[in-house]
Structure 1
Amino acid sequence: MSTLAAKSLESPEETRRFPHGHIDLVTLGGTTAGRAEFEPGWRWSTDVKPIAGTESCQSLHTGYVLSGRMRVRMDDGTEAEAGPGDAVLIEPGHDAWIVGDEKCVMLDFTGLTNYARQ
């Protein structure tokens, strides 16, 4: 049997809020997809770590940056930056923060089931 599903992130099933941002979520089949908005000043280790309870983000992110810039540092010290038009793969074990004074808006298609949830 074939499946076709569509849900709008304009009417999310769930919104998770955290300091300096939020993520709107929909679930399609077994996949949770979301649109995250990170305000200037957001940093995972400051704003989401207290919720997650882990030393670094343990979610796998596969996404696309719509606006703004985000810098990521992996637990091994590797760093990279992503901006508008960039598709990203960020493996578990990282910190991230917003670069500059523009909000970063990102679509994420993996790793959101438990993101920013205790």
Structure 2
Amino acid sequence: MTTMHQQTEQRDFAAPDEVRTFDNGVLELLAVGDAEIGRLVLKPGWRWSNDVKPIAGTELCQAPHFQYHVAGTLHVVMADGTEFDATPGQITSLPSGHDAWVVGDEPVVVVDFYGASNYAKG
């Protein structure tokens, strides 16, 4: 019987491996194990179609996301017209093809477990 040994890691967003800034927001990336985990901090007024679309060069966000919502309210509209508010404590799984924006005066903070490595990358 073969046993796999996995290395223990502890990382902190205070010391990210990469930081990507864009209008009204920032993405901090950490490499953990075989994954890249991102923390997005989006200021009031942020909207993907205004602030990231020029970087991505696509009509809608094509990065799929699997996110934990830490703070603020994010309104999401999918290509098929489905829309909802994501709020603190919620998990969202978003396929490619969506727009989103910050609702209200509180910054949105999400931890993205999938898709962050391609976010806001030209």
Q: What TM bracket, shorter-length normalisation?
A: over 0.9
Structure 2 residue aligned with 1:87: 91
Identical counterparts, % of pairs: 47
SS at match of 1:113: helix
Q: Structure 1 residue runs of 4+, over 3 Å off?
A: none
Task: Name the Cα RMSD after superposition.
Answer: 1.0
Which of 2, 5, 24 is the aligned partner of 1:2? 5
- In 2, the alpha carbon distance for the partners of 1:10 and 1:20 equals 19
Structure 2 residue aligned with 1:43: 47
SS at match of 1:22: strand
SS at match of 1:109: strand
Displacement after TM superposition at 1:65 (Å): 0.8
Flag structure 2 segments of 5+ consecutive residues without an equivalent.
Answer: none
Structure having the higher Rg: 2
- In 2, the alpha carbon distance for the partners of 1:9 and 1:62 equals 18
TM-score, length-normalised on structure 1?
A: 0.95
Q: Residue by residue, what CA displacement relative to the aligned partner does 1:80-117 show, whole Å, maximum 9, x if unpaired?
A: 11111111111110000000111011111000122101
Flag structure 1 segments of 5+ consecutive residues without an equivalent.
Answer: none
Displacement after TM superposition at 1:30 (Å): 2.8
Asked if 1:78 corresponds to 2:82, the answer is yes
SS at match of 1:50: helix
Structure 1 residue aligned with 2:36: 32
- In 2, the alpha carbon distance for the partners of 1:8 and 1:64 equals 16
SS at match of 1:51: helix
- In 1, the alpha carbon distance for the partners of 2:46 and 2:26 equals 10
Asked if 1:19 corresponds to 2:23, the answer is yes
- In 2, the alpha carbon distance for the partners of 1:93 and 1:52 equals 12
TM-score, length-normalised on structure 2?
A: 0.92
